[in-house]
A and B are shown apart, each in its own frame.
Chain A
Amino acid sequence: MTFDRTRLGFIALVAAGLVAPYLIYPVFLMKGLCFALFACAFNLLLGYTGLLSFGHAAFFGSAAYLSGHVIKELGVPPEVGILIGTLLGLGLGLIFGSLAIRRQGIYFAMITLALAQMVFFLCLQIKETGGEDGLQGIPRGRLFGAIDLSDTLTMYYFVLAVFLIGFFFIYRVVHSPFGQVLKAIRENEPRAISLGYDTDRFKLIAFVLSAGLSGLAGATKALVFQLASLTDVHWQMSGEVVLMALVGGVGTIYGPLAGAFIIVTMQNYLSGFGSWVTIIMGCVFVACVLLFRKGVVGELSGLLTRR
Chain B
Amino acid sequence: MNMEYILETRGLVKEFKGFTAVAGVDLKVRRGSIHALIGPNGAGKTTVFNLLTKFLEPTRGAIVYRGQDITWRRPAQVARMGLVRSFQISAVFPHLSVRDNVRVALQRASGKSFHFWRSERSLDGLNDRVMALLDEVDLRSFADVVTVELPYGRKRALELATTLAVDPELLLLDEPTSGMGHEDVGRVTELIRRVAQQRTVLMVEHNLSLVANLSDRITVLQHGSVLAEGSYAEISSNPQVMEAYMGNAA
Closest beta carbon of chain B to A132's beta carbon, Å = 40
Q: Which of chain A's residues has its CB closest to B75's CB?
A: A193
Q: Which secondary structure dominates where chain A touches chain B?
A: helix
Number of CB contacts from chain A to chain B under 8 A = 108
User: Which of the 9-residue segments A144-152, A174-182, A222-230 touches chain B?
Assistant: A174-182
Q: Which of chain A's residues has its CB closest to B82's CB?
A: A196
Asked if B120 contacts A180 (CB within 8 A), the reply is yes
Interface residues of A in 182-219 (CB under 8 A from B): 183-184, 187-188, 190-199, 201-202, 205, 209
Q: Which of B79, B100, B110, B122 contacts A193 (CB 8 A)?
A: B79
User: Which of the 9-residue segments B26-34, B57-65, B91-99 touches chain A?
Assistant: B91-99
Q: Does B103 contact A (CB under 8 A)?
A: yes
Q: Does A172 contact B (CB under 8 A)?
A: yes
Q: With A180-B103, A197-B76 given, is the CB distance from A191 to B117 under 8 Å?
A: no
Asked if B116 contacts A205 (CB within 8 A), the reply is yes
Asked if B116 contacts A194 (CB within 8 A), the reply is no
**Inter-chain contacts of A209 with B (CB < 8 A):** 116
**Inter-chain contacts of B122 with A (CB < 8 A):** 177
Q: Does B53 contact A (CB under 8 A)?
A: yes
Q: Which of B53, B104, B117, B165 contacts A181 (CB 8 A)?
A: B104
A179 to B123, CA, bound (A): 12
Q: With A178-B113, A197-B108 given, is the CB distance from A191 to B76 under 8 Å?
A: no
**Inter-chain contacts of A193 with B (CB < 8 A):** 55, 75-76, 79
Closest beta carbon of chain A to B172's beta carbon, Å = 9
Point out residues on A near B: beta carbons under 8 Å: 172-173, 175-181, 183-184, 187-188, 190-199, 201-202, 205, 209
Given contacts A181-B104, A181-B107, 13 further A-B contacts (CB under 8 A): A172-B119, A176-B115, A178-B115, A180-B104, A183-B95, A190-B87, A193-B76, A194-B55, A194-B79, A201-B114, A202-B113, A202-B114, A205-B116
Going nearest first, the 10 A-B pairs with the smallest beta carbon separation are: A178-B116, A187-B93, A196-B79, A191-B91, A196-B80, A177-B112, A173-B116, A198-B76, A184-B104, A195-B105
